Amino acid sequence: MDQRAPNLLDEALGLVDEEKTKPWPLSSRVVLVEDRVETSGAFVLHHLLKRALSPHSSNDVVVFLAFSQPFSHYDRILRKLGCNLTAQRENNRFFFLDLLMSEFPDGDEGNNDGLVALYGKIEKVVSTSFQENKKCITIVIDDFSLMEVAANGATNYVLDFLRYCRTLTSAFGCSLVVLNHEDIYSSIERPALILQMEYLADILIKAEPLATGLATDVHGQLTVLNKEIQDGQGSSRNKICNFHFRVKENGVEYFYPGSKT
């Protein structure tokens, strides 16, 4: 990918010239990434992870809750993007919580592996990092649906967990990034759960297949809804961006529909 080309995802999120922008544009905001089985949005997490750990943000910290993949998976992918997660973990900038085999029994608040205890671990890392004058802390949940599975389908418990994490965004200026699979829920389940998650989000990113079907040079489309953007005149508005993407070995190419020949 031509590094001089504009990154449409960064532009939609306000991350252009991030090293010149203080504070981190995603501070105190909740980012929800929704994808589908045939169109994974994991590359958005990888991109935001790389940006949060960039050399221009040496005082920033990421707390990563891994329900979907082990550390080695993310370390391999981020190395291709120019980010060494092993080094970042050793430098106390990347806190990886391996939750692949975790179970959260209903109502068992005394269980060390429960959601309450998990939130306590996150809060401890966040408060300690804040006291160490870290500029911004990003909390990432790599698969909300698998968190539900770990909680035995207790949707209310995991939604409460998200709400508690959301309080950290206002108390400490954290960012909260969550990936969820939109099309795994039945038509009955979807309205309540998805709408509640979208309501909690300040930024909604949808990764979807093309309406025209599969294509060799286009892997899908992204729609970014950035809520309550300040327009410079004291008022706010919603900003919507839509563009196509192509996932490559060492990055992702973004472009407007019809711009590729």
pLDDT tens for residues 93-104? 999 999 998 888
Per-residue model confidence as pLDDT tens digits over 42-79: 999 999 999 999 877 767 899 999 999 999 999 999 99
Is the pTM higher than 0.85? The answer reads yes
Q: When comparing pLDDT for 112 and 18, which is higher?
A: 18
Q: Report, as an integer, the average pLDDT of 173-190.
A: 82
pLDDT score for 2: 40
The pair of structure tokens assigned to 146 is: 């698998």
* Contact between residue 185 and residue 153 where contact means Cβ atoms under 8 Å apart: no
pLDDT above 90 for 216: no
pLDDT above 60 for 163: yes
pLDDT score for 3: 43
Sort 69 into a burial class: Cβ within 10 Å, 0-12 / 13-18 / 19+: middle
Q: Report, as an integer, the average pLDDT of 202-207.
A: 96
What is the Cα–Cα distance from 87 to 93, expressed in whole angstroms? Answer: 9
Provide φ and ψ at 39, rounded to 5°: -140, 90
pLDDT above 60 for 115: yes
Percent of the chain topping pLDDT 90: 56
Q: What share of the chain is helix, strand, coil (3-state, %, to 5)?
A: 35, 25, 40
What is the Cα–Cα distance from 139 to 161, expressed in whole angstroms? Answer: 13
Q: Report, as an integer, the average pLDDT of 190-202.
A: 85
Percent of the chain topping pLDDT 70: 85
What is the Cα–Cα distance from 77 to 64, expressed in whole angstroms? Answer: 15
- Which phi-psi region, left, alpha or beta, contains residue 164 (left: φ > 0; alpha: ψ -120 to 50)? alpha
Q: Which of 62, 42, 40, 41 is nearest to 51 (CA)?
A: 62
pLDDT score for 137: 93
Q: When comparing pLDDT for 175 and 230, which is higher?
A: 175
